[in-house]
Structure 1
């Protein structure tokens, strides 16, 4: 191998090393960008996780409130039923008397 061939090979290797350095720099830049993207996605995921946790808590609270409302409605329905049972006969009697008055008034005309 001649000195000139050796010089050509060294020049080719230097050029190749230059290209490899550029590619390495680009790879580092891409890796840094990917690292930032991953950090952003993780932060966003943590935010979504917190939001879902808060939503779950709200749903649990609303479920308890709905259960309480159902119990209140059941209580009121029972109270209305008791009042109807207690006063239903009296109301039927009043309606009967009113019907008698109406019928008597119809007969006087």
Structure 2
């Protein structure tokens, strides 16, 4: 999974192709819960590019995009938001895959 390094990168990624931003943090137990299976989820949805966003490094972006709980996912396709799975709740693999299936269907 690509890691976001700068705010300048955000505009480039949002406006080119399909990117799923995963907002997370090292101290978040629910984020650690999804970590073991995310590589398999990424492989299953290889048409999507995943970007890890450290919530603590990009707190302003979290505010701008209304990310008030982690882990959370926001997807963009060529500049348009095509989906968001944002809450403070723990997410299961099944819930994440259902969200991503919906995203994949909108960007073909």
TM over 0.5: no
Max Rg structure: 1
Structure ranking higher in strand proportion = 2
- Quickly name the TM-score band, shorter chain normalised: under 0.3
TM-score (norm 1): 0.17
TM-score (norm 2): 0.17
Structure ranking higher in helix proportion = 1
